[in-house]
């Protein structure tokens, strides 16, 4: 890709600075947790080489979690690692096509579409694994329970809705999102990995309801898996994801 010069170059630089300022501003608003504190999510990059490379995280600490067999968890970790690998492959392939001026090709379009599947498959699993492995229920005196009650009427109403969302027929994810603009909370059904995400939504609690997440241990009894999930939510981690500047 050629370097931009003149007015176009200045506009690009202004856009970069604007985006950087907005990013830093957003980071500050979100209490830095937005970047790394709220989760141990990978944002590893190899920017020195001019490309971004994601690295899979190690979640072996979850082995032994009550209600989740080692076989299930290890299979799940392997699936997750596949999403990281394929995200990197897609990013590399798209960069290559961009460098070669082949952005108008069907290959570019299909790889670009595929990125939503692989990237979200990677990221959603990271949020999921980060928000389990805890013990004990939600902090009854914490911010989250207050906020859930504010949006749903009560914690119990939120939980009922979240469980119902996760019990829907189909494969995907149940996600409690906080709307970045209003601060309100909504439970979303995310189809597969990439369909149904709210624009400007901050994932607060994520539950995998693909069959691989439970069938090894629970067969078709998804409700039993959801019970086990709730027993293992890492509420302290979930609470850290809140956008405290809102609501
Ligand atoms: Fe999964």
Distance from the CA of 233 to the center of ligand 1, in angstroms? 16
- Residues 125, 85 share a domain: yes
* Same structural domain, 150 and 234: yes
Is position 39 within any domain? no
pLDDT band for position 52 (cuts 50, 70, 90): confident
Could you read off the pLDDT of 96-146 as tens digits, one per residue? 999 999 999 999 999 999 999 999 999 999 999 999 999 889 999 999 999
Q: Distance from the CA of 208 to the center of ligand 1, in angstroms?
A: 6
Q: Quickly tell me which residue has 């500050």 as its tokens.
A: 28
CA–centroid distance, residue 71 to ligand 1 (Å): 14
Same domain, 230 and 151: yes
What pLDDT was estimated at residue 132?
A: 98
Are 133 and 147 in contact by the 8 Å Cβ rule? The answer is no
Residues facing 206 on adjacent strands = 175
The Å distance, Cα 169 to ligand 1 centre, comes to 16
Considering 130, 157, 181, which residue would you say is the last residue of a domain? 130
Residue 66 burial (C-beta neighbours within 10 Å; 0-12, 13-18, 19+): exposed
Ligand 1 centroid distance, CA of 115 (Å): 17
Same domain, 221 and 191: yes
Tell me: do 92 and 154 sit in the same domain: no
SS3 of residue 131 by DSSP: coil
User: Which region among 12-21, 164-173, 226-235 has the lowest average model confidence (pLDDT)?
Assistant: 12-21
Show Cβ contacts of residue 195 under 8 Å, excluding neighbours closer than 6 positions.
172
Cα dist. 34→37, 55, 203, 242, 243 in Å? 7, 18, 11, 9, 9
Residue 87: band (very low, low, confident or very high) from pLDDT cuts 50, 70, 90 = very high
Higher pLDDT, 3 or 158: 158
Q: Is residue 190 part of a domain?
A: yes
Quick check: is 175 in a domain? yes
Is residue 124 domain-shared with residue 147, that is, in the same domain?
no
pLDDT band at 22 (very low <50, low <70, confident <90, very high): very low
Confirm whether 186 is domain-assigned.
yes
pLDDT tens for each residue of 176-227? 999 999 999 999 999 999 999 999 999 999 999 999 999 999 999 999 999 9
Q: Is residue 206 part of a domain?
A: yes
Residues above pLDDT 70, as percent of the chain? 78
- Residues with C-beta atoms within 5 A of ion ligand 1: 208, 210, 213
- Residue-wise pLDDT for 94-108, tens only, equals 999 999 999 999 999
Tell me the pLDDT tens digit for each residue of 64-74: 999 999 999 99
Stretch (H or E) spanning 79 = helix 70-99
Q: What is the model's pTM?
A: 0.81
Mean pLDDT of the residues in the chain:
85
Within-domain flag for 81: yes
Strands (E), the chain: 172-179, 185-191, 201-208
> If you measure from the C-alpha of residue 85 to the centroid of ligand 1, how many angstroms do you get, rounded to a whole number?
15
Q: How many structural domains comprise the chain?
A: 2
CA of 237 to the centre of ligand 1 (A): 19
* Ligand 1 centroid – CA 203 distance (Å): 16
Asked if the structure places residue 8 within a domain, the reply is no
Q: What pLDDT is recorded for position 228?
A: 98
One domain for residues 121 and 154: no
Highest mean pLDDT among 17-21, 49-53, 85-89: 85-89
- Does 237 score more than 80 pLDDT? yes
Give the helix/strand (H/E) hosting 189.
strand 185-191
231 is a domain residue: yes
Cα(32) to ligand 1 centroid in Å equals 27
pLDDT at 14 over 70: no
Tell me the CA–centroid distance for residue 93 and ligand 1, in Å.
Answer: 25
167 CA distance to ligand 1 centroid (A)? 15
Residue 46 has pLDDT above 80, yes or no: no
In this structure, what CATH number is given to the domain that contains residue 188? 3.55.40.20
Print the domain residue range for 66.
47-130
Tell me, yes or no, whether 116 and 150 share the same domain.
no
Q: Both 123 and 152 in a single domain?
A: no
């Amino acid at each position: 890709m050629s370097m931009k010069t003149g007015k176009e170059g200045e506009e690009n630089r202004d856009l970069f600075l604007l985006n950087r300022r907005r990013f830093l501003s957003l980071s500050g608003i979100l209490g830095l947790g937005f970047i790394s504190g709220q989760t141990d999510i990978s944002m590893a990059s190899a920017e020195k080489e001019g490309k971004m490379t994601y690295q899979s995280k190690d979640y072996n600490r979850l082995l032994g979690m009550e209600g989740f067999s080692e076989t299930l968890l290890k299979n799940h970790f392997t699936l997750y690692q596949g999403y990281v690998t394929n995200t990197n492959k897609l990013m590399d392939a798209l960069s290559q096509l961009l460098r070669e001026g082949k952005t108008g090709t069907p290959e570019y379009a299909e790889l670009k579409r595929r990125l939503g599947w692989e990237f979200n498959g990677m990221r959603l699993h990271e949020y999921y694994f980060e928000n389990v492995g805890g013990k004990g229920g939600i902090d009854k005196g914490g911010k989250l329970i207050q906020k859930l009650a504010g949006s749903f009427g009560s914690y119990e109403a939120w939980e009922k809705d979240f469980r119902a969302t996760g019990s829907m027929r189909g494969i995907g994810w149940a996600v409690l999102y906080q709307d970045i603009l209003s601060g309100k909370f909504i439970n979303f059904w995310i189809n597969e990995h990439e369909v149904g995400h709210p624009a400007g939504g901050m994932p607060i609690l994520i539950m995998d309801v693909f069959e691989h997440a439970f069938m090894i241990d629970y067969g078709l009894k998804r409700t039993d898996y959801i019970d086990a999930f709730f027993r293992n939510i890492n509420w302290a981690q979930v609470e850290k994801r809140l956008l405290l500047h809102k609501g």
